[in-house]
Chain A
Amino acid sequence: MASPITTWDGAAEYFTFAHSPILLNGILIAAVAFVVFAVIYDAAHETGAYKKVTNPK
């Protein structure tokens, strides 16, 4: 169950998986990892693109 609540009466934090610290941390780590991956992926893309210009052979 993604929902941390079973009723809206008295609900406070109601975002998905708010009741599961393990899942929250897993999702957070995945988000951080994607940001890091995106930077590394761009570094590879840019390096390759520039190499085609500076060293076309």
Chain B
Amino acid sequence: MEQQIADLVAKVAALEKSSGMIGTIDLEIYYFWATAFMMLIHAGFLAYEMGASRAKNVLASGIKNILAFAFVVPTFYFFGWWIYLAFPNGFVPSADGDAGLPWAMAMGPNLSDNATGVFWAAFTLFAATTASIMSGAVIERIKVYGFVILAILLGSVAWILVCSWGWHPSGWMLKSYGFHDFGCAGIVHVVAGFFTLGVLINLGPRIGKFNADGTANDLPGHNIPMVLIGLMLIIVGFFGFLAACVILNAGGQWTNIYGQPMTLSSVGFNCLMGFSGGLIGAWVMTRDPFWMMSGGLAGIISAAGGMDIWYPPLAFIVAAFGGLTIKPFYDMLTKFGIDDAVGAVAVHGWGGVVGVVSVGLLASGYPGPADAPGISLVGQIVGVAVCMAVGFIPGYVCSLILNVFGSLRVPDEVQLMGLDQAKVPVHAYPESGKAPAATVPAE
């Protein structure tokens, strides 16, 4: 009898160990494949950006877009992950960041730590997404090395600092204000959108965008179908992005990053409803396929802040508002002389503001995690203001400095000729001969 009990105890212990390991491996698998899905965001941004470029600049735009990704990955390893772990209290680093230093034993293959690598990879894809958001807006006239410096600042410093403050279980925006941003509407999209706005002010418009009287010309991209496919790929990638915003707890309920319980089903409901709401809103407003697809993306962003809690028809309405208002917001920026080639500030910046503020307006009263206040309008407004400031200020200041040193804007002669012909050793469409010369009215 005693032997049987001992055998049973041993079997239970083995079963517990096995179950624990299955949970650990589930976690690795979940975030690994969410990261793989997020790569589609970058495939989408690549197609989107190249399609939105004129034929004379298409490869230069593609190179720039890919390099944003390439430089954010190592720099996020060097210091981005450390910033996330070290700065939840503000500007003074804590010792918690030591685990994210590039020489820490967790920052490489380690049989006692299955989690750090997949979490780092998911956050790195978030980081690369922020840099890619800027990339499309500045096409056809930014110097690549100036852009790379800006991409590193945005992707590996600015957004991840706000992320540490407002998308971390110990972040001060959560602890003091109950800030709630499940799908990074503010943390990623507002920061990236307003960083981009700061850069665009110093970069200036493409030659031919504005006439002497201030009116704007349309500079259509060379391949709108490629733009639409690119936007659809971004949407697919966002399912990976939002999946990575959910915390898998082996043996327990899913939670959001703040530790509040939720279901993955909530993302299933509200991501699709948000996409549809944004699509329809922008279609009603513009009848333009470019803005319709951009509206779908803006719809997801507008619903992202509360995607874990929205009643799905409410997510649809919030997203429809985002879709309806991005084109007027874009037109307003254009009237101020801002040439945003793909509407990134409107889709991500404005869409993100809708995403954060709508949670305060329509979802106040939800309890916070154990030691943090619940959701409130004040908390959301404080949060979105922080996101706007930490996006805009470094984007504006760094691009201003780069501009002073002649490291920001491509010379006018090169813009007129086309960037591909000036610096790319291959042709995008070789059977059509050399990259075509400029043909916009004001040139």
Contact = CB atoms under 8 A, between A and B. Distances in A.
B148 A42 contact: yes
B410 A50 contact: yes
A2 interface: no
Contacts of B111: 11-14
Interface stretch (B102-110, B177-185, B278-286, B374-382): B102-110
B145 A46 contact: yes
Contacts of B109: 13-15
Contact of A46 (B74, B143, B413, B417): B143
A35 B74 contact: yes
B144 to A, nearest CB: 6
B103 A21 contact: yes
Interface in A1-26: 11-15, 18, 21, 24-25
A8 B113 CA distance: 15
Contact of B411 (A15, A24, A32, A50): A50
Contacts of B71: 35, 38-39
Contacts of A25: 103
Interface in A24-57: 24-25, 28, 31-32, 35, 38-40, 42-43, 45-46, 49-50, 52-54
Q: Is the interface of A mostly helix, strand, loop or mixed?
A: helix
A42 B144 contact: yes
Contact of B108 (A18, A39, A50, A54): A18
Max chain A Cβ within 10 angstroms of own Cβ: one of B74, B145, B413: B145
B336 to A, nearest CB: 29
A12 B105 CA distance: 9
Max chain A Cβ within 10 angstroms of own Cβ: one of B75, B78, B149, B422: B422
Contact of A15 (B110, B143, B413): B110
A43 B407 CA distance: 8
B145 A42 contact: yes
A49 B411 CA distance: 11
B78 A53 contact: no
B414 interface: yes
Given A13-B112, A14-B109, 11 more contacts: A12-B110, A12-B111, A13-B105, A13-B109, A35-B78, A42-B144, A42-B148, A46-B144, A46-B145, A50-B423, A53-B422
Interface of B: 71, 74-75, 78, 102-103, 105, 108-113, 143-145, 148-149, 407, 410-411, 413-414, 417, 422-423
11 contacts: A14-B109, A14-B110, A15-B108, A35-B74, A35-B75, A39-B71, A40-B145, A46-B145, A49-B423, A53-B414, A53-B417
